[in-house]
Structure 1
Amino acid sequence: MTARLLVYTRTTAYRHDSIPDAVAAVRALEEFTVDHTEDPAALEEPLDRYAAVVFLSTSGEVLTPAGRRRLAGYVGSGGGFVGVHAAACTEYDWPYYGELLGARFDRHPAYQPGKVLIEDPDHPATGHLPAVWDFTDEWYDFRAGPRGRVRVLLSADESSYEGGGMGDDHPLAWCREQGAGRVFYTALGHAAQAYRDPRFLAHLRGGLTWATAEAAA
């Protein structure tokens, strides 16, 4: 039986050109059935039929007050939440969302190659990866590092690219629990090419699987 996901891609600020490729890639994952929307009214409805809600490169303020209440109640009562890339650039006016996700986007240098360090190989999102993973992305900096509040899975080696702003402690992907729910976030996934990369797709699949509680933590 596949897990049903609500994939939400509404943007009210920067919009990533990769969103159609990203949605198509998630749809292609055999473990999941996907409902895709950009309508905030969809988040005002009961979410219990979904194993997880996925904010896929959302940006800006994307929820109504009713949607905020519905999402918080859903995760707190055991629903999964997954944020991908620009999900960290979302709902700055809602303090709960920053707590839910674990960190908020600050800035990024130019899109460029760099190295990802696998901090926790014992997770479905990382077990397939080499200890050092060469990847190309925007290498998001965050307003405050999430370590201590989350289980860090991946971090950036800032010596491998230009313009990093967080130093030696630069998490890129993590997971955490919120009430009875599970939360997974990855900062990777800027470009359409990421959604054709087998390692990135396995990383995303693993995060979704964990958040939907289909694998052990």
Structure 2
Amino acid sequence: MRILVYSRTTGFRHDSIPAGVAALTALGRDHGFEVVATEDPAVLTPADLSGFAAVTFLSTSGTVSDDPAAHDALEGYVRGGGGFAGIHAASTTEYDWPFFGTLVGARFDTHPEVQPARILVEDRAHASTAHLPETWARTDEWYDFRTNPRGSVRVLLRADETSYTGGKMGADHPLAWCHDTLGGRSFYTALGHTDASFAEPAMLAHLLGGLRYVSGSR
């Protein structure tokens, strides 16, 4: 199994991208799949994408490619059954591309400062959350979204806004979700702002479960 990790940024660039690439590569090595990491939009072609079980957007931002054919290639890949995973700033990507908005599930709006908070594990019957306790305490950058994706996705995690300052979505604040409404499977997690995120065993298991889900291996 091969998974593409794409991390091109034309907007804000997260310092944690190298740590994320290294962590995903290590997960592949330890669990029997190959990770191909790139920021070259030339990979977004039907021929190249067909060689991957899933495409992961790791804290991408802005425009993934200036070539409309790249959009068509990714859409065709997903509609043809290809898997997609978005990590953290993937929701800050391609605001003007409606298909991508539906694929990732929600658009980033704003966030307060990085701080500790509690995550409520809403759905533990999923590969990305089965290992987690009902309440997961950790430090991250807690994204607010322009719209609440509930109703069009399966919500897996949500933020407990009473446990930190600056949240703007209220009691129902999804942080991770999945869906299969476009042909292939999609998984998104808002977690992963810091380098430390990619050294946390529970976070790594969360990502591994998401990759297994979208690749169809579980």
Please give the TM-score of this superposition, normalised by the length of structure 1.
Answer: 0.96
Structure 1: where are the runs of 5+ without partners? none
Tell whether the 8 Å contact from 2:46 to 2:77 is kept in structure 1 after alignment.
no
Q: Which amino acid aligns with 1:68?
A: H
Q: Please list, as runs of the form range in 1=range in 2, the aligned pairs for 1:143-182 lying within 5 A after superposition.
A: 143-182=146-185
Q: Which residue of 1 aligns with 2:62?
A: 60
Q: Which residue of 1 aligns with 2:42?
A: 41
1:197 aligns with 2:195: no
- The runs of 4+ residues in structure 1 deviating greater than 4 Å are none
Cα separation, 2, equivalents of 1:150 and 1:137: 23
Cα separation, 2, equivalents of 1:60 and 1:80: 21
Q: Secondary structure at the match of 1:61?
A: coil
Cα separation, 2, equivalents of 1:58 and 1:25: 16
Q: Secondary structure at the match of 2:155?
A: strand
Q: Deviations over 1:21-46 (max 9, x none)?
A: 10000000123211111011111242
* Deviation of the 1:20 alpha carbon: 0.4
* Deviation of the 1:157 alpha carbon: 0.1
Indicate the structure with greater helix content.
2
Q: Which residue of 1 aligns with 2:211?
A: 208
Structure 2: where are the runs of 5+ without partners? none
Moved more, 109-118 or 178-187: 178-187
* Deviation of the 1:180 alpha carbon: 2.4
Q: Which residue of 1 aligns with 2:11?
A: 13
Cα separation, 1, equivalents of 2:7 and 2:186: 17
Match of 2:112 among 109, 113, 116: 109
Please give the TM-score of this superposition, normalised by the length of structure 2.
Answer: 0.96
Percent of residue pairs identical: 59
Tell whether the 8 Å contact from 1:75 to 1:178 is kept in structure 2 after alignment.
no
Q: Deviations over 1:123-165 (max 9, x none)?
A: 0000000100001111100000000000000000000000000
Tell whether the 8 Å contact from 1:126 to 1:153 is kept in structure 2 after alignment.
yes
* Deviation of the 1:198 alpha carbon: 0.2
* Deviation of the 1:179 alpha carbon: 3.0
Q: Secondary structure at the match of 2:185?
A: strand
Cα separation, 1, equivalents of 2:37 and 2:19: 13
Q: Which amino acid aligns with 2:25?
A: R
Q: Which residue of 2 aligns with 1:70?
A: 73
Q: Which residue of 2 aligns with 1:50?
A: 52
Q: Deviations over 1:174-194 (max 9, x none)?
A: 000133200000000000000
Cα separation, 2, equivalents of 1:66 and 1:178: 22
Q: Which amino acid aligns with 2:53?
A: A
Tell whether the 8 Å contact from 1:119 to 1:152 is kept in structure 2 after alignment.
yes
Q: Secondary structure at the match of 2:116?
A: strand
RMSD between aligned residues: 0.8
Q: Secondary structure at the match of 2:44?
A: helix
Q: How many residues align?
A: 213
Q: Which amino acid aligns with 1:40?
A: P
Q: Which residue of 2 aligns with 1:27?
A: 25
